[in-house]
Every structure is written in C-alpha cells, then in structure tokens.
A and B are shown apart, each in its own frame.
Chain A
Amino acid sequence: MLGYIIRRVLAVVPVMVIVALFVFLMLRLTPGDPAAILAGDSATPAQLDRIRENLGLNEPLHTQFIGWVTQMFRGDLGVSLISKTPVSTMIGQRIWPTLNIAVLTITLSVLIAIPMGVIAAWRHRSWVDYAVMTFSVLGFSVPVFVIGYVFIQIFAIELRWFPVQGYMAPSRDFVGFLQRAVLPAFTLATIYVALIARMTRASMLDVLGEDYVRTARAKGLRENVVLFRHALRNAAVPIMTIIGTGFALLIAGVVVTESVFNIPGVGRLTVDAILARDYPVIQAMILLTAGLYVLVNLVIDISYTLIDPRIRY
C-alpha cells in the first residue's frame, strides 16, 4: 500500500515536468510582451527594450527555463512581471475564494447529484429517470455564463434574495460568505450535478443488475439499504473517477463564474495573466492547477482502496 502510494507519487514527477516544459515553451512562443503592458501606451520602443532587459526577457530561452525551474525547486514562484508582487502572494490572496467556492460546489453537487442518480437508476425508465436524464443533458448544453446571468436576473435582481456579485471570506463573515457564494456555487454546480448524476445513474444501473443486489433483496433488506449500503458503495468507483476528472471541468467553470459574479479568485487571475502575458503567474497557475488536478486524482485513486477492498496494488 505504502509502496503503491510512493510509486504513484513518483509517477507524478514526469507528468509535472512535461507540463512545465510544455507551458513554458508555449508561452514563449506566444506573441505578446509584458514590458508593453507594464509601460503603458505611450512608451517608446527603446524604453520597452530597456524594461525587457530588466525583466530578464532578453535572455536565451534555455537560460530562462533553467532559471525558472531552479527557482521553483527552491519554492520560489517568482515575481509578477506586471505588478512586481510575488506570485506566491498573489496566489495566496486569490486561491481561497476559488477553493471555498469549489468546495461548496462539490459538496452541493455530490449531495444533489448522487441521490438523483440513485433514484433515477432505481426507477429506471420511469418519469423520474427521464427527468433526471433530461436535466443532466440540459446541464451540459447551456453555457455556464448564461446560467449565471439567469440566476442573477431571477434571484439577485428580481427576487433580491442574494447579492448580485462579490465575495466575502468565510472567516470574516460566514453568513456573508454563504450569501455571496450560493449563486456562483449553484451556477457552477449545474454542469457538475449533470455529470455526477449521469455517472451515478449509469454506474448504479450496472450494479443493480449484479447478483449481490439480488442477494441483498433476497435477504429481505429494505430498498434504501439495498440502494445505499449495498449498491452505491459498489457503484462508487466510477462516480469518484468522474468527480476527479470533472474537477477539470470545474476549473473551466470557475474561470467563467468568477467573471460573472466578480469573485477575486485564481481563475480570473490566470485569464488576466494570459491576456497580459504575465509569464511567472501563468506558469505558476497552470502548474498549480495541473498539480492540483493530479493530486485530486491521486487521492481518488488511493481512496479506491478504501472503498473497494478488492483493489490492492
């Protein structure tokens, strides 16, 4: 078990190295000049060149890459080319809104989606099933920002239940956090619920056809025990997997949702950084999200062994 975890963690290394190299090269091949952003509209070419020199952007690529990687190994993410703020500070400030909303979203999604999927599978081909399926297809079909705007229009502007925008740290004011986080979380959750409900249903349909479910019924167990204690746990592995891979989808959603609801999170930070060619920030953020993705999936892989005793490595 420990050997397995060590091997899995080691396997992450080449993945992250490839990600780092890929991102680095891609960014350097992208046209764009952080010096120009820094200096503003009326800077002259000579001024720009001096700034570029100062930022180290005139060094050869491999020198820049090696410099960056050694820096990373020292735990130093570098300094934003534009704002001169350490990247770690910027990420530190902005990761919490994103994480808090993401955690809320995942919690909500799982709480909503799994019962939905289980019931749909249980009542296969009934109206409940069709309703769940329709919702899940619909959830995939509407752009996240459209959902966001519709929610804002209905719940914030017409009904005035929630604020239109903004973010509040839960540590400062938990109710305030919830007020502001509910709409973004539901917006984000739409697609996630669709995804998880769909997978839960499919996985449960598989499992409900299994012999041990029949055994459980033959034992005279109540349906909810059959469904949740026997079937769901066996159906859990693909559901966990989809929660893990859906994490990537969540990141995409976060980027958009943060714009719609004006949440100062890392999604916007990254998009802004890409549009401003703030290399250290983009590199750090892509590595971070990639690392997070890998980590989440690693944890999920390892947790399979807790769910299913047959899985041994």
Chain B
Amino acid sequence: MQFKTADLSAAPVVLSIRQLSVGLSGETTKVLDAISLDVREGETACLVGESGSGKSVTSLAVMGLLQKGSLEVTGGEIVLDGNDLLRLTPSQMRRIRAQRIAMIFQEPMTALNPVMRVGEQIAEVLKTHTDMSAGDCKARVLEIMEQVHLPEVPRIYRSYPHQLSGGQRQRIMIAMALVLEPKLLIADEPTTALDVTTQAQILSLIAELQERHGTAVLFITHDMGVVAEVAHTVHVMQHGRIVEQAPVESLLRRPREDYTRTLLSSVPSLVPRHVRAESRQQEVLEVRGMRKVYGGNGWFLRRPGTLAARDIDFSVVRGRTLGIVGESGSGKSTVARCIMRLVDPTEGEVRVAGIEIARLSRRALRPHRKHFQVVFQDPFRSLNPRWTIAMSLTEGPLNYGMRYSESFARAEEMIELVGLPRDSLHRYPHQFSGGQRQRIAIARAIMMRPDVLVADEAVSALDVSVQAQVLKLLGDIQQKLGVAILFITHDLRVAAQICDDVIVMQHGAIVEQGPAAAVLSAPRHEYTQQLINAAPGRHWDFANFRELETA
C-alpha cells in the first residue's frame, strides 16, 4: 500500500481552525465542540467520521454557509491566510468564496443547477469575481474543462447537468471550484454518490489538480478506503469532536483511540469470507432466462423499451447467500424486483421453493408470497410511519390467516431475534435509528419464515459500524433459519463479507458468476477486474491494521 507521505511541515498553513464550536440556535447542544485543525499548502487533510459526527458542519462553517436560524458558530476562529473568516462581513466573505476557498459536494446531480447550462455555471464564477470579458471567460472555462479531462468540451459547455453522467458532473463541479485557483478546496464526500470506477477517476483527478496548483484540500469522507488513497493527514471525528489526528499511515497502522479502532475494524474486508462447504440442499430459488424490458408501449407512437435485464440464470440453495454485484444501472435491482414480482418479468422463469411464479397472476401469487421476502435499502421508508412495529410485523402472518395472538407472540420472538427489546413492538418507526429500523425490517421479513430473503442494498445506507452489525445479524439468522439470501449490493467489500457466491452484472447482463472467493480474488472478466482495481484502499486490511497478505 502506497500512502501519501510527503513532508509538509515546511509548507505554509492555509487554513487553521482553532477551538471552533457550533451550536443549534437557541439551544445549548453543541454540534461541534472546540475542534482544531490545520491544512497546509499541497496537503490533503481527511475528516473522517460516521453520520452525525459533525464533519459536514465543519466544512460549511468554513464556507460560512451554515443554515441561518438553525446553526451558528458559538466560539473559536477559522483563519485563512491570516484572516479570521468569522469576523468578515457577508460581502467580504462572499468575495473569499470561490476565489480563496472553493467547495465540491457529494451529489453532483443536485449540486448543479438543473436549469442552467453547465458552462454558464462555471462562467458565472468568473463573471462574479473577475472583470474578464465574455470571450475571455468562455476561453477560460473551456480551458479548465479541458483540465478536468472532460470530453468534447464545447458540447458539454452547452449541456445541462441531466445530460451528463455522474462522473462528468463531478468534473464540472471540480472545474467550477478550481477555475479561480483557490488556496483551499473543501471536498465534502465528493465520490460517495459515484460508482466505484468513476470514484477512482475523480480521486486521481483531484490528486492531479492538487499537485499542479498546490491547493490545500480538506477532504471529508466516511470511507476508510478513500482515506487510505488520498489523505496526508487524518482527523477522526465523533460526536462533534476530533478524537484523533495523525498522518494517514500511522493512523491506519497504529490507531491510538478506541473509536478509531472500532471504526477501522468495522470496515469489511475485501478478502472473501471463508468458504462454506457446498451444500447439497435443494435449490429454493431458481431463475432461468429472465429478461425485463421497461416501457415500450405508447398510445400513438410505439417506442423501444429499455432493456433492464437479460439472460439472467442463477439459483440459490437453502442456507447460502448469493450476491449480485454491479454499479448503478447494471440491472441488479431490476432482478431483485422481478423475483419479488414487484415488477413483472418480460420473459423467463422464476421458481421459488419449486413453484413457478413469473407468470402467475397477482391474485394467484398471493398464497406463495410468504416463501420469499424482501428487505429494502432505505430504512426510513421501508416501514409504514403510521403503524406500530407490532402492526407492521403481524401484517404478513395475519394475511395468511394466523390468529393475532399467535402472530403477536411470533413478533415478540422475532423482535428479540433481531436484537431489540420486546417493548419495541408498541412503538412507532420514528422512535428508532436507521440500523434498528433495518433490524425491524428483517424481523418483518422473517416473520413469514421465508425460504428466500432478498436484501436489496440492505446495508448501503448505514454507517460502517452499524453495517457490520446488520451483516452479522443476517449471518446469524441464516444460520438459525436456514434461509437462502439473495444479496444485492454495489459494495464489493460487503459482498466479500457475506456472500458464498457472487454474480457480477453490467449493462443488464451477467458478466461473471461463481464462488465469491474465485470471483473476487481471481476475476476472469475484464469488468470484474476493473471493479476490484478501482476499490479504494484495496491493498490494506483495515481491520487488522496492516497490508493485505494476498496483495
């Protein structure tokens, strides 16, 4: 593993945060509690932490963009080039932005104005802060767009954000941030919303530009892999405090604080789990020649539909986990929804516990629904907010004619099985955290004693530590109930940790299929290799604080 090690102690400090505290307006709760950090010229300082740790608030405080009326700075200073930003007037601060500090955000789709051409959005920065003529402006914009390696620059200049890919949009954001060559670039989770291959490109772009301009970068992320790739120094945040600050290598090798250790230990390893013996049990889910085309019928004009999945063949046996891995748009969720019959497959067979369900009418399907259940990605939307947990849990069994007392008893059993107290049953979803809700969703699924459990990105929205717990829970449940799991994920690390077998999908088709160990350690297909190579920090074994042995 090659870490960034340049000695920057001689480089001038660009940003110096001293004892910065931020609180909720009108309340005493501290969102940031006296944090201090420095960023030097040419340095990439990573701010790491789980959601709610205060890392984004820090970046917004530096930009002076804390939401008015809800958050306010209560103490400390933010010094940029010797000026305390907190003492500037709003119009002075406005001049600092983009010229001295620039920022890129997590969601390049939402961070760009959807109704303005991207070229104009970049040019707007120049028009606001410089006296350049329109022609010069445009030339400069085209130049910076070249620098961020955008293709067909004149065409993209005239494009709207929705006409560009995620990676291109993030490049536009970077171009916009760097067009005035600011001293400091704040990157707030700039690659989180991107596919792993795109992420790798963007990370290297940022590194390249940083090197060329000597920009100081404050890089905010939750992803230890990314940290390992980009950081010079790392600041670990928890509950609004910085708990540990260290150069990247020493932090990863020798974390001093417990929290850092836990955080690192929770990062799933890319090394596949130990191989479980091939089971001889019957196949409970079998998909043959499945194909799904969306749309394709208009009233007046027959339009071609979108081919979302084709030639899908696989099977899962009792007690084992099959992972479907792929980037966004690969068709993995379509496969899951077809199997759940939330959408109807266009062609092919789906057998669950021996019953062909692909062609059954909705009504005829209902008696068989209990055999296959699903857990969704978003823990905040997967439970009816107006129902108690008991109501959500007993809904299924009641549908199959179980008496209420009996199903309530089972609900008590299941809620304990997923590690929540019994009295949770009388509460409402909003009283639970995301991880807890995901446990409840799992409990609801296993209330039905299904043969197959489909987990559609079931841990993607969770912080790593919670993610690890939920993954463990799924494993335990599989152990106890022998359920087959179809695990849909974009995250190779997660797949490596939970799957016995893996399917890699691209453009709606399966490109590689086999035991997890084989596919992830020795990928045969070019695309699988790309995926694995792009995984940040893939040579580091975070949980054991050392290089991967196999690397």
* Neighbour of A216 across the interface among B63, B96, B113, B300, CB < 8 A: B113
Q: How far is the CA of A197 from the CA of B114 in the complex (A)?
A: 23
Interface residues in A267-313 by Cβ distance below 8 A to B read 307-310
CB atoms of B97 and A217 under 8 A apart: yes
CB atoms of B69 and A234 under 8 A apart: no
**Counting CB contacts under 8 A, is B94 at the interface?**
yes
Residue of B nearest to A234 (CB): B115
Given A7-B300, A220-B94, check contact A215 B105 (CB 8 Å): yes
CB atoms of A212 and B128 under 8 A apart: no
CB atoms of B129 and A220 under 8 A apart: yes
Chain B residues near A3 (CB-CB < 8 A) = 300-301
Interface size in chain B (residues, C-beta < 8 A): 31
Chain B residues near A308 (CB-CB < 8 A) = 114-115
- Determine how close the nearest CB of chain B comes to the CB of A227; give it in whole angstroms: 13
B282-300 interface code vs A (CB 8 A; 1 in, 0 out)? 0000000000000000011
* Neighbour of B160 across the interface among A215, A217, A225, A309, CB < 8 A: A309
CB atoms of A310 and B114 under 8 A apart: yes
**Counting CB contacts under 8 A, is A221 at the interface?**
yes
- Determine how close the nearest CB of chain A comes to the CB of B62; give it in whole angstroms: 11
CB atoms of A220 and B96 under 8 A apart: yes
Given A7-B300, A218-B63, A219-B176, check contact A210 B97 (CB 8 Å): no
Given A125-B69, A309-B160, check contact A220 B113 (CB 8 Å): no
Counting chain B CB atoms within 10 Å of each CB, which of A215, A217, A234 scores highest? Answer: A215
**Counting CB contacts under 8 A, is A214 at the interface?**
yes
**Counting CB contacts under 8 A, is B95 at the interface?**
yes
CB atoms of A307 and B115 under 8 A apart: yes
Chain A residues near B300 (CB-CB < 8 A) = 3, 7
**Counting CB contacts under 8 A, is B162 at the interface?**
yes
Chain A residues near B129 (CB-CB < 8 A) = 220
* Neighbour of A219 across the interface among B114, B124, B160, CB < 8 A: B124
Residue of A nearest to B106 (CB): A211
* Neighbour of A218 across the interface among B95, B97, B110, CB < 8 A: B97
- Determine how close the nearest CB of chain B comes to the CB of A118; give it in whole angstroms: 16
Counting chain B CB atoms within 10 Å of each CB, which of A125, A216, A225, A307 scores highest? Answer: A216
**Counting CB contacts under 8 A, is B13 at the interface?**
no
**Counting CB contacts under 8 A, is A28 at the interface?**
no
Q: How far is the CA of A195 from the CA of B176 in the complex (A)?
A: 38
CB atoms of A222 and B97 under 8 A apart: no
Given A214-B65, A214-B111, check contact A230 B116 (CB 8 Å): yes
Chain B residues near A7 (CB-CB < 8 A) = 299-300
Chain B residues near A125 (CB-CB < 8 A) = 69
**Counting CB contacts under 8 A, is A50 at the interface?**
no
- Determine how close the nearest CB of chain B comes to the CB of A221; give it in whole angstroms: 6
**Counting CB contacts under 8 A, is A160 at the interface?**
no
Q: How far is the CA of A229 from the CA of B123 in the complex (A)?
A: 14
CB atoms of B111 and A212 under 8 A apart: yes
Chain B residues near A214 (CB-CB < 8 A) = 65, 105, 111
Residue of B nearest to A312 (CB): B162
CB atoms of A234 and B114 under 8 A apart: yes
CB atoms of B114 and A211 under 8 A apart: no
CB atoms of A221 and B301 under 8 A apart: no
Chain B residues near A307 (CB-CB < 8 A) = 115
Q: How far is the CA of A214 from the CA of B63 in the complex (A)?
A: 10
Chain A residues near B105 (CB-CB < 8 A) = 211, 214-215
Interface size in chain A (residues, C-beta < 8 A): 25
- The DSSP consensus for interface residues of chain A is helix
Given A211-B107, A309-B160, check contact A218 B98 (CB 8 Å): yes
* Neighbour of A220 across the interface among B95, B110, B173, B301, CB < 8 A: B95
Chain B residues near A219 (CB-CB < 8 A) = 97-98, 102, 124-125, 128, 176
Q: How far is the CA of A215 from the CA of B161 in the complex (A)?
A: 14
**Counting CB contacts under 8 A, is B199 at the interface?**
no
- Determine how close the nearest CB of chain A comes to the CB of B149; give it in whole angstroms: 21
- Determine how close the nearest CB of chain A comes to the CB of B223; give it in whole angstroms: 20
CB atoms of A220 and B99 under 8 A apart: yes
- Determine how close the nearest CB of chain A comes to the CB of B170; give it in whole angstroms: 12
- Determine how close the nearest CB of chain A comes to the CB of B106; give it in whole angstroms: 8
Q: How far is the CA of A286 from the CA of B302 in the complex (A)?
A: 36
Interface residues in B55-86 by Cβ distance below 8 A to A read 63, 65, 69
CB atoms of B162 and A220 under 8 A apart: no
Given A220-B95, A309-B162, check contact A212 B110 (CB 8 Å): yes
CB atoms of B97 and A220 under 8 A apart: yes
* Neighbour of B112 across the interface among A215, A220, A229, CB < 8 A: A215
Residue of A nearest to B63 (CB): A218
Q: How far is the CA of A210 from the CA of B95 in the complex (A)?
A: 22
B117-140 interface code vs A (CB 8 A; 1 in, 0 out)? 000000011001100000000000
- Determine how close the nearest CB of chain B comes to the CB of A121; give it in whole angstroms: 12
Counting chain A CB atoms within 10 Å of each CB, which of B65, B111, B300 scores highest? Answer: B111
**Counting CB contacts under 8 A, is B103 at the interface?**
yes
CB atoms of A310 and B97 under 8 A apart: no
Chain B residues near A218 (CB-CB < 8 A) = 63, 65, 97-98, 102-103
Counting chain B CB atoms within 10 Å of each CB, which of A3, A212, A221, A229 scores highest? Answer: A212
Counting chain A CB atoms within 10 Å of each CB, which of B69, B113, B300 scores highest? Answer: B113
CB atoms of A212 and B162 under 8 A apart: no
- Determine how close the nearest CB of chain B comes to the CB of A27; give it in whole angstroms: 33
- Determine how close the nearest CB of chain B comes to the CB of A307; give it in whole angstroms: 7
Chain A residues near B113 (CB-CB < 8 A) = 212, 215-216, 230, 234
CB atoms of A217 and B65 under 8 A apart: yes
Chain B residues near A222 (CB-CB < 8 A) = 94, 128
Q: How far is the CA of A119 from the CA of B105 in the complex (A)?
A: 27
Chain B residues near A124 (CB-CB < 8 A) = 69
Interface residues in B354-413 by Cβ distance below 8 A to A read none
Q: How far is the CA of A212 from the CA of B65 in the complex (A)?
A: 13
Interface residues in A27-58 by Cβ distance below 8 A to B read none
Residue of A nearest to B100 (CB): A220
Interface residues in A112-134 by Cβ distance below 8 A to B read 124-125
Residue of B nearest to A11 (CB): B299
* Neighbour of B111 across the interface among A211, A220, A234, CB < 8 A: A211
Q: How far is the CA of A215 from the CA of B169 in the complex (A)?
A: 13
Interface residues in A192-251 by Cβ distance below 8 A to B read 210-212, 214-222, 225, 229-230, 233-234
- Determine how close the nearest CB of chain B comes to the CB of A196; give it in whole angstroms: 20
CB atoms of B115 and A309 under 8 A apart: yes
Known: A124-B69, A310-B160. 13 other contacts (CB 8 A): A125-B69, A210-B110, A211-B105, A212-B111, A215-B112, A215-B173, A219-B98, A220-B128, A220-B129, A225-B124, A233-B115, A309-B115, A310-B162
Q: 20 pairs across A/B with beta carbons < 8 Å? A: A3-B300, A7-B300, A211-B111, A215-B103, A215-B112, A218-B65, A218-B97, A218-B98, A219-B98, A219-B128, A219-B176, A220-B94, A220-B125, A220-B128, A221-B128, A233-B116, A308-B115, A309-B115, A309-B162, A310-B162
Which residues of B approach A to under 8 Å, CB–CB?
63, 65, 69, 94-99, 102-103, 105, 107, 110-116, 124-125, 128-129, 160, 162, 173, 176, 299-301
Closest 8 CB pairs between A and B?
Answer: A220-B97, A211-B110, A220-B98, A211-B111, A212-B113, A309-B160, A218-B103, A220-B94
